[in-house]
Structure formats: C-alpha cells, structure tokens
Structure 1
Amino acid sequence: MRSSQRLSVALACAEGEWPHDDWPAPDDRHVGRAVRLAPPFRVPPGVDVVVLYCGDPSRALAELGAVGVPVIVVSRRRDTETIVEMFRGGAGYLVEGDYCACMLSSAVVGATVGHTYLSPVACAALREGARRTPAGGEAMERLRSLLSPRERQIMELLSTGLGAQEIGLRLRLSEKTVRNNLSNIYAKLDARGSTDAVLRWLGAAPVLRT
C-alpha cells in the first residue's frame, strides 16, 4: 500500500450497476478514487485493486483477464466450489449482503499487502463443504489438533483476511510474535504460505500431515 496516497480502485461490474453508491466515502482514510468499469474490462494504469461485482465469478474473471493487481470478488454465489476456486486463484471473496463498507475497505487494504479477505459467509461455506465430505470433519479436527490454542486463534483471524499487524492488535501481541507463530503454523500444516494454510484450516485443501 502506498504510504503517501489513498488507494485507487477499479469497480468492475459484470452485470448491472455497482450497488454501493456511497462507497468509497469521501472521508475514507484508505480508498481515495474509484473508477467504474463495464465489459469489456480495461483496467487503467494506476489502479491498486480491482473489485469485481458479478453473478458468475468464473466467467467474469475470465473476461477480466490478467490485470496485474489484486482482485476482490463480490457475488451472491456462496457455494463452496466457487469460493474455493476464487480463493485458490488469489482473489478475495465477499458474499453479497454479508459485508459492510468498512469490511470492503479492509479487504481492499489487505489485498495490497497480500492478504486474501473472505466474508463470514464465505468462510462458513468452505467449512460446511469440508464437513460434508467423507471424514471431512475428522480430518479438520486432526489438523487443528496440531496447533496450540494460541495458534488456533491466529488461524481463525488469518482466515478472515487479517494480516499479522491486525492479528497482533486483536490478540494484544507484537507483530513479530504473530509472524513467529505463523511460521510455526505453516510448518505444522505443511503449508507454503498464508493462502495454503487458510485453505487447509478451512478444510478446502488436502491435509498432508496426519
């Protein structure tokens, strides 16, 4: 995130109009400019994050193409398959009606520093999908048993898109302590990084270690 300027966001609407005329607010501390795009999407230079509002995320992302900046999907779709596909591709995911303007701003800011934000319903969809698979709930419990109580707290917060600094503020820990815990978590879960760890934590990726 640029320290001296507020962020520039492209609002790409695959169908209909952007539903939040009041966002970003003039006094938003982080988001200063919003450019509205209609298909075919052409993201202008200087954009920091693309927010993609769509009914069919897979098709809309294909139309968007490679943009070179983080993407956050806003959609009414809440099925596990769609959400996992978007998350694995590195896109944040907000289920329509499951977020507020503050959450949207947080998702945009988080995206600029590599955090993938999921709204609460999106997190729940991933968990429920894992529980419905054969032995899914048991596999998740085995995985979670690898972590200490503090590490589980950190993973719960990480899975909502919070970064180390925000997690530290929530848990009253230093950012360095959170990062040390995250390193231990990744090792225990055989995860390559935060996205991989969250997918395993939410039951949306195979558990490699038992």
Structure 2
Amino acid sequence: MLACAEGDWPHHDWPAPDDPHVSRALPMSPPYRGLRETDVDVVVLRCEDPSVSLAGLLQEMGAMSAPVIVVSPRQDVEAVAEVVRRGAGYLVDGDYCTCMLSSAVVAATAGRTYLSPTACAALRDAAQPVLDGRAETERLRALLSPRERQVMELLSTGLAAQEIGMRLGLSKKTVRNNLSNIYAKLDARGSTDAVLRWLGAAPVLRA
C-alpha cells in the first residue's frame, strides 16, 4: 500500500508491469481510514516529516503486522533514528531508484530493515558524538572475523543472504551460518538489531 497525500507519490511508473517482486500498489491518502480492513503485505509511507506521519500511520494500523518503509526527504540523524527505532525501513528522496524500492519491499516482507545509503550513513553518525558509544562499537566489531565483517557491511545496506553470497562468492547456507554466528557474538535478536549495533546506533536508539 502507498500511504501518501494524493498526488505526492513521485514514481507513477512503479511497480513496472514486469516487476518480478511487486505486482500491485494500492494508494491510500491520510488519515488512512479503513486501513485495518485492507489486506496488504507492506506499507510504503511517503511523507515530509516522519516523526509526525509515521506515528499517525502506526496508530491507524493498530494490530496490523504489515512492515512499513518510510520514503522522505529528511536525512537528519534524529529522523532516521526514530524511524528505525520504530522498526521501519528508510529511503531518502533522491537516494534510491525504483529497483531499490522493490528490493526494500522484498526485504520488508522477509523481516529485514532496508536503508538507502544516506539513511545508513545517518545511523553511523548517530553514535559519533558519544565517545563511549564509539568504543563499544569498536569492541563489538572486533569480535567478528574478517569475513563476518564483510557480511555485516553488506547486511547493513539491506542485502539479503542470497545477495550477500553473490557479492562474496559464498553459498546462501554459508552466509546464513555467518549471520547466526554474528547474532550470537553481537548478542543481537535478529538482523535489524545486529545492523544497529554494527552501525553504532543501538545505544542512541534505545536511550
């Protein structure tokens, strides 16, 4: 579902007829009345101010389990961190293409948090002002092997196990084994938690 003001969605050619992953997008304008009665796999929220719009959307969603991806021009640390803390993916305007948007939707259905490069950089910056946070991040990263660090760098950009394997020349099973070891070493509950710890943003998001 495309949650945005009428006429505010910039990609009128998405999804493309030959998109192998996204077959249909249903537009819905705020205040999203009737959303709970709609059967959707992923909600893509296009908004100017995620701190206001995402809270309103989540309230309207209620107990719906559909994952959310935020598309916004905001790229400051506070905006990105708040969105990710709420469990949503984040794409910054001008920082992604429609292929990445489709990849973000697929990642969301698999329980992964997809971040565009600028959003990812914002989370990295989130921990920079806190010296202890940097030290803790480096301590956690030192626990990982060189291969596990490569896997985490790719995972933090939103790639799935199969895509990571293709980049590194590894089987999907080997990547999944690496991820299991990484989660254990970082004491992470899953991929999103591991990425936040890897980027050094977890302490900020949980404050």
After TM superposition, the score normalised by the length of structure 2 is 0.89
Does residue 51 (structure 1) correspond to residue 44 (structure 2)? The answer is yes
Question: Quick one: which of 29, 39, 42 aligns to 1:38?
Answer: 29
| Counterpart-to-counterpart distance in 1, 2:202 and 2:113 | 16
Question: Which one of the candidate residues 49, 74, 78 is aligned to 2:75?
Answer: 78
Does the CA-based 8 Å contact 1:54-1:75 persist in structure 2? Answer: yes
- Residue 123 of structure 2 corresponds to 126
Using the aligned pairs only, state the percent identity. 71
**Matches of 1:129 and 1:94, distance apart in 2:** 17
The yes-or-no answer on 1:166 pairing with 2:163 is yes
What is the distance in 2 between the residues matched to 1:19 and 1:197? 32
Letter in 1 for 2:107: G
SS in 1 for 2:51: helix
Which residue of structure 1 lines up, in the alignment, with residue 13 of structure 2? 22
As a proportion of its length, which structure holds more strand? 1
Mapping for residues 170-181 of structure 1, pairs under 5 Å: 170-181=167-178
Counterparts of 1:1-210 in structure 2, within 5 Å, are 10-14=1-5, 17-41=8-32, 42-43=34-35, 45-64=38-57, 65=59, 66=61, 67-206=64-203
Contact 2:133–2:203 (8 Å) recurs in 1:
no
Q: Distance in 1 between matches of 2:121 and 2:133?
A: 14
Return the TM-score normalized by structure 1.
0.88
Q: Distance in 2 between matches of 1:62 and 1:14?
A: 16
Q: Which amino acid aligns with 1:174?
A: S
After superposition, the CA RMSD in angstroms is 1.7
Report the alpha carbon displacement of residue 16 of structure 1 after superposing the two structures with TM: 5.4
Q: Give the 3-state SS of the residue equivalent to 2:25 in structure 1.
A: strand
| Separation (CA, whole Å) in 2 of partners of 1:185 and 1:50 | 29
Unaligned 5+ residue runs, structure 2?
Answer: none
Q: Deviations over 1:172-191 (max 9, x none)?
A: 11111111111111111111
Structure 1: give runs of 5+ residues left out of the alignment. Answer: 1-9
Q: CA deviation at 1:15?
A: 7.4
Pairwise CA distance, 1:88: 2.2
Answer yes or no: is the 8 Å Cα contact 2:54–2:83 preserved in 1. Answer: no
Q: Structure 1 segments of 4 or more deviating over 4 A?
A: none
Counterpart secondary structure, 1:93: strand
- Whole-angstrom CA distance in 2 between matches of 1:129 and 1:113: 26
